[in-house]
Copies of this chain bind each other. A is one copy, B any other.
Amino acid sequence: MAVDDVIDALSEGRDARVELYKELHRSPELSMAEYGTADRIEQELTRLGLEPVRIGETGVLAIIDNGEGPVVAMRADIDGLPVAEASGADYASTATAVLDGETVPTMHACGHDVHIVSLLGAIEALLARGDAWSGTFVAVFQPGEETAEGARSMVAAGLVDAMPQPDVFLGQHVMPTIPLGTVAARSGPFMSAAASIRITVHGRGTHGSMPDAGIDPIVLASSIVLRLQTIVAREIAPSQTAVVTVGSIRAGSKSNIIPDSATLLVNTRAFDADVAAHLHSAIERIVRAECAASRSPKEPEIEYYDHFPLTVNDEAVTEKVRRSFDEHFGEHHVPVGAMAGSEDFSILPAAFNAPSCFWVLGGFADPATAPGNHSPAFLPELESLDVGARAILVASAPWLMRS
């Protein structure tokens, strides 16, 4: 088949791509500040003969117009994380960045460098075998996935006008939960909606020996934490998947001073818009009621950030992709349930009202011992670079490949 021809072409630039990957892995940049990474991607696309376009500050767009036929868009996210790498690789990151005024180490702890190089590999192969396919392939290198800002920022910066209307929008993520070499997709809700909420509740500070002279915000915050547990336990249908996590609680600095306020960082997950809405309304209800129970002197501050949409795979498109995976990956096309994580990918196809499919690929030999995403030890096998490129070609095949 034609797609096999294109896949064969992957061997050509492989060694250079591994080097590029190591270079990227060494120098990750934080969300919405991927200036060097975007430059490097542009450089590479230019080297391959394309004319990349910056979309916003750090988004990059490249279009391969290869004659009549459908338009397939493929997105790769490109940002790193404020994590200190402990992978032990000789190409481990030594980079740092400034975050909220503090210098922090940075790391590609979520494999976005794999995504970049896989997409560049697919592009290289498509360019090398132009006769095997027909249509338009659009590569979208997206910044700021980790903070849910990047997809929105590319749309805001004019992505829709900068590229042809896609017939299908594709995306992928490397995962530790399925074995190296495998791919998996699922129709319908695939990755959860997520939101982060910064909640500050107010007490009234006083000396620790005179609690009656103040209002204790730590007792208040702790009551909120326990009450929040009842949302998933009591208010959401047991058959629904929903998560309310308090990831951070901070108040006070001395044992004998009751502080003025406490701050919680809360994260929610849901696979259904109504459930997500219920979670948020329940959180706000509980926060306000517990403030009343404590006679808090001031309204709580409740600020949403990092808002990820639900990732829902289009049924027809996903059926096509999965059939193509079956043909080319065989038993390496594995089943998968809904994933706990979240993505801002869906914002891109939504901007075009285009159907989409997002899949995952294995990055580690043994899921049982693989480190989780965002772990300091997260280091996918180099082989995943090829698997990622192949997956892009195979997923695109139903639209682009000559039979």
A-to-B contact residues, CB < 8 Å: 192, 194, 196-198, 206-213, 216, 218-219, 221-223, 225-239, 241-259, 262, 265-267, 269, 285-286, 288-290, 292-295, 306, 337-338, 340-342, 372-374
Contact = CB atoms under 8 A, between A and B. Distances in A.
Contacts of A286: 293
Contacts of A285: 292-293, 295
Closest 5 CB pairs of A and B: A289-B293, A248-B252, A222-B222, A222-B225, A208-B245
Contact of A211 (B206, B213, B243, B248): B243
Nearest to A290: B293
B249 A252 contact: yes
21 contacts: A208-B243, A208-B245, A212-B238, A216-B230, A219-B225, A219-B230, A219-B246, A221-B249, A222-B225, A223-B227, A230-B233, A230-B294, A233-B244, A238-B242, A239-B337, A247-B255, A247-B256, A248-B255, A255-B267, A257-B374, A292-B292
Contacts of A249: 218, 221-222, 249-252, 262
Nearest to A242: B238
A341 B206 CA distance: 12
Nearest to A228: B233
B255 A266 contact: yes
A280 B258 CA distance: 19
Q: How many copies does the complex hold?
A: 4
A247 B252 contact: yes
B242 A248 contact: no
Best-surrounded residue of A211, A212, A233 (most CB of chain B within 10 A)? A233
A267 B213 CA distance: 16
Contact of A248 (B231, B233, B254): B254
A247 B238 CA distance: 16
Nearest to A338: B239
A235 B211 contact: yes
A247 B259 contact: yes
Given A209-B341, A222-B249, A233-B244, 16 more contacts: A207-B341, A209-B269, A209-B340, A210-B340, A211-B234, A212-B236, A219-B226, A219-B234, A222-B223, A229-B229, A229-B230, A229-B233, A238-B242, A247-B257, A249-B252, A256-B306
Contacts of A198: 255
A350 to B, nearest CB: 21
Nearest to A281: B295
A227 B374 contact: no
A357 B232 CA distance: 31
B265 A252 contact: yes
